[in-house]
Chain A
Amino acid sequence: MSIKISEYRIEDLYEGLVESFEFIVTDKMMNDFSNISGDYNPLHKNTDYAKSKGFDGIAVYGGILISQISQIIGMHLPGKNSLWNGLNVNFVNPLMVGQKATIDATIAHISKATSSFKLNIRILYDEIIVLKGSADITIL
């Protein structure tokens, strides 16, 4: 299996440039993340418990959403030459296991003096914002 990775350089970037992809969080991803993180909170493991707290089903870990941010930075924008400096996120609405979500990242500011840029990031499900945030990236 070949993995495609972008190789943007600072001179290739412009403010407003967008990269995005769709993803679905599966039961296997949830189980893998439980073991990686050591977080076995029933909100992420037990459907009855999640519903009793007002959720439609098992809520996806915020850490898995952040892992998709890692993918969009490390593989898509800018890809190979990225160094992630900072991240701010707000979890606005829950995402459920099995729901198809979209992540998009838009360049909000480019600083050529520091070879770095700021990305505005959103994760959406059916036009509902699940996550909103920003990341600071340096191009090596």
Chain B
Amino acid sequence: MDNIELLTKVTSIFRETFDNDSLVISENMSASDIDEWDSLTHIRLIVSHEIEFGVKFSISEVSELENIGGFIELLESKIRL
């Protein structure tokens, strides 16, 4: 899977989670940039990515994330294992 394909899939999951077909994500964005990003949508985001990409995240991995760029890096590292 190349970076474009990965970003397309991640964007699709974000759009479905936030029910916003025009949502555009960027590396510097975080929860504070999306009004609907609360604890419940956070859970949905993590679980949807785990299921879609067949990976598992730990509590510490997720708690250390600062933005979407960090999340995508973490996801890439899991996929390439």
Q: How far is the CB of B53 from chain A (nearest CB, A)?
A: 12
Secondary structure at the A interface, as helix, strand, loop or mixed, is strand
Residues in chain A near residue B51, CB distance under 8 A: 109, 118
The reply to whether B42 and A113 contact each other, CB–CB distance below 8 Å, is no
Q: How many residues of chain B have a CB within 8 Å of chain A? A: 14
Q: A74-88 vs B: 1/0 string, CB under 8 Å?
A: 000000000001100
Q: Which residues of B are in contact with A by a Cβ distance under 8 Å?
A: 40, 42-44, 46-47, 50-51, 56-59, 61-62
Q: How far is the CB of B61 from chain A (nearest CB, A)?
A: 7
Residues in chain B near residue A136, CB distance under 8 A: 43-44, 47
Q: Which residues of A are in contact with B by a Cβ distance under 8 Å?
A: 85-86, 109, 111-114, 116, 118, 136, 138
Q: How far is the CB of B78 from chain A (nearest CB, A)?
A: 12
The reply to whether B44 and A113 contact each other, CB–CB distance below 8 Å, is no
Chain A residue at smallest Cβ distance from B43: A114
The reply to whether A138 and B56 contact each other, CB–CB distance below 8 Å, is no
A138 to B42, CA, bound (A): 12
A-B contact pairs, 24 of them (CB 8 A): A86-B44, A109-B50, A109-B51, A111-B43, A111-B46, A111-B47, A111-B50, A111-B56, A111-B57, A112-B56, A112-B58, A113-B46, A113-B50, A113-B56, A113-B57, A113-B61, A114-B43, A114-B46, A114-B47, A114-B62, A116-B47, A136-B44, A136-B47, A138-B43
Residues in chain B near residue A112, CB distance under 8 A: 56-59
